[in-house]
């Protein structure tokens, strides 16, 4: 859902890293720091790191995500 929201609201695009597999490209750069932020939410229940990243990138979490 984070990747869909990034594509819908921030113009991110899916990418493929030859070593790590699927990745998210935001402004032409790989979002390498995204995984620990998502894990913090999932494993610790702490949304703060992911929320700050969303705001930094310009992703609006209140906007509905289109699943096409």
In whole angstroms, what is the distance from residue 44 CA to residue 58 CA?
24
Region 9-30: mean pLDDT is 80
In whole angstroms, what is the distance from residue 62 CA to residue 32 CA?
24
Region 20-35: mean pLDDT is 81
Q: How far apart are the first and last CA of the chain?
A: 12
Position 61 scores a pLDDT of 72
pLDDT tens figures, 44-62: 999 999 999 888 888 877 7
The whole-model pTM stands at 0.73
Q: Where are the domains of the chain?
A: 2-57
């Amino acid at each position: 859902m984070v990747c869909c929201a990034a594509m819908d609201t921030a113009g991110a695009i899916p990418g493929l890293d030859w070593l790590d597999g699927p990745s998210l490209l935001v402004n032409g750069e790989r979002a390498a720091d995204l995984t620990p932020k998502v894990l913090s939410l999932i494993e610790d229940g702490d949304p703060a790191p992911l929320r700050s990243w969303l705001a930094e990138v310009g992703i609006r979490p209140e906007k509905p995500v289109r699943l096409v």
